[in-house]
Chains A and B, each alone.
Chain A
């Protein structure tokens, strides 16, 4: 590739005096070194913003990541027409009672819509670990580590960008779900805020988990394998797609240990007023706060160990 190679020509006297002036200026600045922000979280927003800029400057990535839940909602949600299992001779009021019993709400689509919120959070959070792998691979991580930025800030920034991205995507999925016919009678400012608090906690915990798993890895294939290994069980062994009540007993036990279930349980109670629940709302919150808190603390503690060899 032809590139113009800048050459520093022989300096004339005039140019030289300009150079000297610049040096003097530079030295002056050197002496008056800027006062540095030495707080352990400085640079946190700069690092978070870096990942967010990459994301919103590339709308194709956003669109592709939204296609998946739309396909699930539009095709799977509509195709799984549970009403057809019930004989058409059954009166509508009894049909509604069947729905109510299994899904806690009068349509499967509404049930699945809320499940899709945790679906999109789960998948976005899972890939927040990937950017750690790329940063290590391309040396950006080492560059950041050679600056006085806090090791904790590097990790928290990765978690935060995953949380922010996943919440924005969840909001878009919710809008699409409403447009496609999700029940809206329970939606209010309070329930939406409550629902997103739940999603925030789940996203924080899951992002911490996947960032932590990626901290030492420089191999994206391994990271992809880890994501798939964890994501599908977390999704299917939860109440995201199907209600717990139709599952075999052993699976019901597994579901009860899956934090994703509690997020679905809480968001369904809040957003669609589900009458079927795994646990009371306060307990859902308790589980999720514990999940997010424990994983965030572990990942930050691990960052001290894993990021310095």
Chain B
């Protein structure tokens, strides 16, 4: 796991890079429902930026606005410096989209599907034909290139969608719930492709997810979104930190004397609670603080029996920020239906 220090160094690097996505007060209202209520954020070149939130939080609506499928009700956004409202076709040429659904045509082969995507972008066949084969190789589908998509498994379909999204050499790739309905192994494989796109192709990626571990392991920065609002933006480490630090639990052989006040004097320690012969300590950098705690215990002539260090998970951060756990929520009929279709096809 990357230490906090290296994460903050990386973040600094990104802040020097050009802005790829800039959203200002972007909103979308459907009738009386405010699906997205004034979100603002910036994504820098080379970042993996994640939108994390429950179903119906406004993730897909935001992606649909940025990919010009929906017209914003308010606010504005620029992608690679181009206004999404004024020049939608220019934006479309610059971005790739991997939608939540499996959109590949089942009656066509894998290769035919990618070539069709190229045609829709107006890319000449002389370029598309070799590039499509390269992309199939990239997602390790070259053996299935001439097979009908109806024979593909869920993981293969997802990879094909990924290849289709890359046909126009996009600078920015949108991934809407890229691992929805996939089993754990296939999900890990998709994560690897996403990481490869960032590392080897220096692509900027914007993804939405409602899987915490996905956001945690993939994203450089996460925006937690709920009820159309961005609650917090930060690196996974920053979000976890906002919970209040690491938890050190130390067991001491002697119940008395109470050395809580001595432990609390350590700089990194924020809070100490004594429970029998156990101390529950909230500290900033758990790894360093725990050593100092042991030193304090020993300096008082007491004996350490057990010690454990718990890092806060994104789960806890999410709970702390939104006041609820991330769970499946009721959504509108249409999106639930399409999600069910996606899940069913993923498992076939």
Residues of chain A having any CB pair with chain B under 8 Å: 1, 3, 5-8, 19, 23, 26, 29-30, 33-39, 42-43, 46-47, 50, 53-54, 57-58, 137-140, 142-149, 218, 308-309
Q: How far is A3 from B101 in the complex, measured between Cα atoms in Å? A: 20
A145 cross-chain contacts in B, Cβ below 8 A: 68-69
> Which chain A residue shows the least CB distance to B167?
A147
Q: Show 27 A/B contacts (Cβ-Cβ < 8 Å), sorted by A.
A: A3-B155, A5-B185, A5-B186, A5-B188, A5-B189, A7-B192, A8-B192, A23-B200, A23-B201, A34-B123, A37-B122, A37-B123, A38-B122, A42-B122, A50-B105, A137-B338, A138-B102, A139-B100, A139-B101, A142-B101, A143-B164, A145-B68, A148-B89, A149-B120, A149-B121, A218-B334, A309-B70
Q: Which residues of B contact A47 (CB under 8 A)?
A: 120
Q: A3-B156, A5-B185 are in contact. Are A308 and B192 (CB under 8 A)?
A: no
- Hey, which chain A residues are within 8 Å of B334, CB to CB? 218
Interface centre among A7, A39, A147 (most CB of B within 10 A): A147
Among B67, B69, B101, B127, contact of A138 (Cβ-Cβ < 8 Å): B101
Q: Is the CB of B124 within 8 A of A34?
A: yes
Q: Judging by beta carbons under 8 Å apart, are B93 and A36 in contact?
A: yes
Residues of B contacting A33 with CB < 8 Å? 169
A143 to B108, CA, bound (A): 16
Q: Are B97 and A5 touching (Cβ within 8 A)?
A: no
Please pick, from B97, B155, B341, the residue contacting A146 in the complex, using a CB distance under 8 A: B97
User: A36-B122, A146-B67 given as contacts; is B153 within 8 A of A6 (CB)?
Assistant: no
Q: Is B262 an interface residue (CB 8 A)?
A: no
Is A139's CB under 8 angstroms from B169's CB?
no
CB contacts under 8 Å to A, within B101-157, are 101-103, 105, 107-108, 112, 116-117, 119-124, 127, 131, 140, 153, 155-156
B34 at the interface (CB under 8 A from A): no
Number of interface residues of B (CB under 8 A): 47
Taking CB atoms, residues of chain B closer than 8 Å to A139 are 99-103, 338
| Interface residue? B196 (CB, 8 A) | yes
Q: Which residue of A lies closest to B106 (CB)?
A: A138
Residues of A within 8 A of B186 (CB): 3, 5
Q: Is there contact, CB below 8 Å, between A35 and B124?
A: yes
Given the complex, which residues of A lie within 8 Å of B156, measured CB to CB? 3
Q: Which of chain A's residues have a CB closer than 8 A to the CB of B102?
A: 138-139
B227 beta carbon closer than 8 Å to chain A: no
In Å, the complex CA distance between A303 and B117 comes to 20
Residue B92 interfacial (CB < 8 Å): yes
**Is B280 part of the contact surface with A, judged by Cβ < 8 Å?**
no
Which chain B residue has the least Cβ–Cβ distance from A47?
Answer: B120
Nearest A-chain residue to B101, judged by Cβ: A139
Question: Is the pair A46, B119 in contact by a Cβ cutoff of 8 Å?
Answer: yes
**Distance of A139 Cα from B335 Cα, bound (Å):** 11
Q: A167 CB to closest chain B CB, in angstroms?
A: 22
B71 interfacial by beta-carbon distance below 8 Å:
yes
- Chain A neighbourhood of B131, CB < 8 A: 29
Bound form: Cα–Cα A26–B203 in Å: 12
- Bound-state Cα–Cα, A39 to B122, Å: 8
Q: How far is the CA of A57 from the CA of B106 in the complex (A)?
A: 12
How far, in Å, is A19 (CB) from chain B's closest CB? 7
Chain B nearest Cβ from A25, distance in angstroms: 9
Report B-chain residues with C-beta under 8 Å of the C-beta of A26.
201
Instruction: Flag B185-201 by CB within 8 Å of A: 1 or 0 each.
Output: 11011001000100011
Q: How far is the CB of A240 from chain B (nearest CB, A)?
A: 32
Note all chain A residues with C-beta closer than 8 A to B155. Answer: 3, 5
Q: Which of A140, A144, A146 contacts B68 (CB 8 A)?
A: A146
Note all chain B residues with C-beta closer than 8 A to A50. 105, 108, 116
B119 cross-chain contacts in A, Cβ below 8 A: 42-43, 46
Give min CB distance, B270 to chain A, whole Å: 40
Interchain CB contact under 8 A, B108 and A138 = no
Question: Bound complex: CA of A72 vs CA of B169, how far in Å?
Answer: 53
A38 to B168, CA, bound (A): 13
B201 A43 Cβ-Cβ under 8 A: no
> Is the pair A46, B201 in contact by a Cβ cutoff of 8 Å?
no
Q: Which single member of B122, B188, B338 contacts A148 (CB below 8 Å)?
A: B122
**Once the chains are docked, how many angstroms separate the CA of A26 from the CA of B135?**
11
Min CB distance, B319 to chain A, in Å?
32
Q: Shortest CB–CB separation between residue B118 and chain A, in angstroms?
A: 9
A43 adjacent to B123 (CB under 8 Å): no
**When chains A and B are docked, how far (Å) is the Cα of A300 from the Cα of B202?**
40
* 0/1 interface trace, chain B 46-88, chain A, CB 8 Å (1 if under): 0000000000000000000001111100000000000000000
Contact A143 B103 (CB under 8 A): yes
Residues of the A chain whose Cβ atoms lie less than 8 Å from the Cβ of B338: 137, 139
